[in-house]
Amino acid sequence: MIFEAKDFKNREELEQYITAKVGQDSVKNKELTHEITGTKKELKKLNLDDLCEVWGIKVICTDEPTTDFIKKPK
């Protein structure tokens, strides 16, 4: 299941929706590959970035992924 950050006003609303839809089982949510997607601005509004997870649900930044800014060692 994909949760879009733009659909939520704040982090509390997102967490309540996730709890109602898929629950708070981190292991199960990770296995089912649920995702929270959004632009950097949309994620920031929810106090999220693409380096974190919410109850095992991976956060994905659609416009400026953090991995684009991390320099690879030479």
Residue 40: per-residue pLDDT? 94
Residue 55: per-residue pLDDT? 94
Residue 69: per-residue pLDDT? 60
pLDDT under 70: residue ranges of the chain = 67-74
Residue 66: per-residue pLDDT? 76
Q: How far is C-alpha 44 from the chain's CA centre?
A: 10
- Provide the H-helix boundaries in the chain: 11-21, 26-31, 40-45
- Find all residues with CB under 8 Å of 15, minimum gap 6, and list them: 54, 55
Q: Is 59 exposed, middle or buried (0-12, 13-18, 19+ CB in 10 A)?
A: buried
Residue 74: per-residue pLDDT? 56
Quote the pTM value. Answer: 0.81
